[in-house]
């Protein structure tokens, strides 16, 4: 393809913005490192959205500023924005071209356990940094047995509101409306949502679908030093009794239902995009073409 149509396609790519509104402790740093490692080679910009006290809900005035920045900051396009911010509907602000949203989620109990120990012991990414709960040696099992606040079922309520967005009901713990809205957004507003447990496949699909940003990402993930999974220090796996106690909670049931919903959607997309051969996955080549094109060109 050449001529005006090719120029338009190139302009579209150069105007592209991706938002990765990362959920804490879902391998988000590991994935973001890949974006940083590729940005110079693939010629795009990476920007971290740093919110005060990691508050995932923006004020109304900050929402307006954020939308204006992302849509009009031409010097930063193509751009990859990442940060712990809940979903924001750009259409509400009269934006004609919305950014591309992507995300990764994790088994809700595994995510909470990882976050619990991360607050106490940190990880191998910045081992010298003092964490908020440093010095607290209590295990996750002991916390659950004692009914501690840091391991309470309410702490599971995070992935649903991140996908639900900036409505007040999104942050009402246990809201059925919030879960339904999160599911709707995942299907209709997100380009692709992966799962931590299958991160390499998520990266492979992004490289196949959005090579402007992710060309070379799969190989980098497999071989790169920084793209290995960031590991929380001193993490002890919970016992079956601890897991069973958390699973009695209605909050866990809802967060797990959302996780299973996301997992099923991701596996559906993957099944239609790849084929397995000798234990390895391969991206399918283009599987459609055009014919019977009229009127005939001279």
CB 23 within 8 A of CB 106: yes
Of 84, 166, 228, 272, the active-site residue reads 84
Q: Which of 45, 48, 82, 272 is catalytic?
A: 82
Residue 97 near residue 15, CB atoms below 8 Å: yes
Instruction: Report residue 277: phi and psi, to 5°.
Output: -145, 120
Angular region, 171: left φ>0, alpha ψ -120 to 50, beta rest: alpha
Active site residue 84: yes
Q: Is 15 helix (H, G, I), strand (E, B) or coil?
A: coil
Q: Tokens for 186, please give them.
A: 């995942």
166 is catalytic: no
193, 102 Cβ separation under 8 angstroms? yes
**Longest C-alpha distance within the chain, in Å?**
80
Active site residues: 82, 84
């Amino acid at each position: 393809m050449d001529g005006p149509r090719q120029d338009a396609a190139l302009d579209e790519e150069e105007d592209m913005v991706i938002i990765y509104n990362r959920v804490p402790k879902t391998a988000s740093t590991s994935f973001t490192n890949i974006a940083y490692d590729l940005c110079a080679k693939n010629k795009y910009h990476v920007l971290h959205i740093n919110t005060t006290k990691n508050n995932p809900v923006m004020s109304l005035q900050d929402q307006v500023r954020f939308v204006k920045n992302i849509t009009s900051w031409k010097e930063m396009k193509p751009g990859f924005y990442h940060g712990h911010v809940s979903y924001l509907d750009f259409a509400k602000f009269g934006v004609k071209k919305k950014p591309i949203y992507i995300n990764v989620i994790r088994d809700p109990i595994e995510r909470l356990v990882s976050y619990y120990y991360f607050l106490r012991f940190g990880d191998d990414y910045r081992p010298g940094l003092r964490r908020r709960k440093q010095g607290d040696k209590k295990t996750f099992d002991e916390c659950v047995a004692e009914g501690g606040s840091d391991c309470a079922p309410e702490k599971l309520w995070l992935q649903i509101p991140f996908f639900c967005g900036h409505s007040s009901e999104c942050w009402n713990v246990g809201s059925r409306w919030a879960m339904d809205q999160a599911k709707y957004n995942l299907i209709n507003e997100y380009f692709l949502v992966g799962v931590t447990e299958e991160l390499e496949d998520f990266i492979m699909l992004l490289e196949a679908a959005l090579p402007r940003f992710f060309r070379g990402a799969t190989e980098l993930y497999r071989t790169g030093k920084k793209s290995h999974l960031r590991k929380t220090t001193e993490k002890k796996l919970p016992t079956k009794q601890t897991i069973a106690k958390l699973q009695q909670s209605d909050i866990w049931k809802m967060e797990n239902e959302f996780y299973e919903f996301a997992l099923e959607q991701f596996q559906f997309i993957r099944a239609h995009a790849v084929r397995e051969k000798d234990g390895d996955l391969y991206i399918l080549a283009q599987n459609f073409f055009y014919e019977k094109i009229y009127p005939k060109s001279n």
